[in-house]
Amino acid sequence: MNFQLVTTKEEEQFREEVSDFLKKELTYELQRQHAMDMGLKKEGREFAKKLGQKKWLGINWPEKYGGAGLPMIYEFILIQELARHEAHIPTEIACFMGGPLILRHGSEAMKEEFVPRIAKGEMEFGLGYSEPQAGSDLMAMQMTAVEDGEYFIINGQKTFNTESHYADYHWLAAKTDSQAPRHKSISLFIVDQRAPGITIRPIETLGGEQSNEVFYDDVMVPKSRVVGEKNKGFLYMVEALNYERLALYQNERLKPVLARLVEYSKTKRRNGKLLAEDSYVRQMLAQMEMEIEVALSLEYRAIAMLLGGDPPDYEAGLVKLFGSELRQRVGYKAMDILGLFGLLEEGSEGEVFRGEVARLCRSGIVDTIGGGTSEIIRNITAMRGLGLGRK
């Protein structure tokens, strides 16, 4: 089966336009320039600007702020085509998290300052949520922002901020009221990532991407850089989470991996016979195909709900849960099919698919942590989807 959104002729023409553009512009290096791989470099920034010139970034945003004013389905078509071509929007945190929240909750001055630049592909945010002591419990964060005249003075530490070494701004959450209930104690800020008092230290990860620790030491942030209302930051983060899961996790990305494995199995032999003739290999390939279709069914259901005016809740979490764990399973099955060749990294003699499978097995681990851990999403599904109690 081939799952598609129900689209009009004009929408399908847009899909073809995006596909033709990507076939012309994409290179292997551009495909890998995103937060969870090589990061954003000069080429990625130029590619983002090309997308912006076509008004494809924030394509459903108001024209007043640099968008194209088109229905939201156009954004999902764009995301799908990027996934099919194994690429990302280079400035995806700004486009899928920062921009939409600024539009909904930011002051007019903030909208005018940031949204047109995001739509042009001129900036990216680093995500400043996680802290060493808090883990997945964002309400337990300890970074403080204390009012001082026209500024907030911010102190504390963030960790696993993957974009901070190249981001222009920090999309930062900090405590602004230590006496309030936890869900009413956090505010969101836009902070210049190179502001005085900020120290960024790299973290090497198993997946190969660079993440960072970010330390704030009496960093002065103007009150005009508070996103929306003070102390409503946690509610804003929750509001954005389900859309983030749909925008950043596309199961379509697994289809090219499967296609390469199928072709490989048709030409490579083991123990004197083609891999495609091995019943175990055939079973693994069939299992991957089936699970990818299941993942796409969950994804399209959630997207259809959103486009129909019924924003998904736990349904978006299921997309992320199933898709992130599926990515790990695909990596491990691919490793079984390739055997020892799957262990070879890019640049090694005898490498297969430029070391893609080894990279997939390493990088896939964080997928079940970032954007909501599998354990938390299972709990949410149990309570909101199945109506089970907390105990």
- Top CATH class, 249-385: mainly alpha
pLDDT value of residue 249? 81
Using one digit for the tens of pLDDT, what is the confidence trace for 228-281? Answer: 999 999 999 988 887 778 887 889 999 999 999 999 999 999 999 999 999 999
pTM of the model: 0.91
pLDDT value of residue 1? 43
pLDDT value of residue 104? 95
Domain ranges of the chain: 9-123, 127-234, 249-385
Distance of alpha carbon 356 from alpha carbon 257, whole angstroms? 9
The answer to whether the 9-123 and 127-234 domains have the same CATH topology is no
Using one digit for the tens of pLDDT, what is the confidence trace for 292-304? Answer: 999 999 999 999 9
- What one-letter code names the amino acid at 16? E
Average pLDDT, the chain: 93
Mean pLDDT along residues 38-45: 94
pLDDT value of residue 36? 86
Distance of alpha carbon 360 from alpha carbon 334, whole angstroms? 9
Q: What is the CATH topology of the domain spanning 127-234? A: Butyryl-CoA Dehydrogenase, subunit A; domain 2 (2.40.110)
Nearest to 359 by CA among 166, 91, 86: 86
4 pLDDT exceeds 60? Answer: no
pLDDT value of residue 207? 87
* % of the chain surpassing 90 pLDDT: 82
Mean pLDDT along residues 170-181: 94
pLDDT interval class at 200 (50, 70, 90): very high
CATH of 9-123, one of 3.40.50.300, 2.40.30.30, 1.10.540.10, 2.30.110.10: 1.10.540.10
Using one digit for the tens of pLDDT, what is the confidence trace for 348-391? Answer: 999 999 999 999 999 999 889 888 889 989 999 999 999 998 76
pLDDT value of residue 243? 78
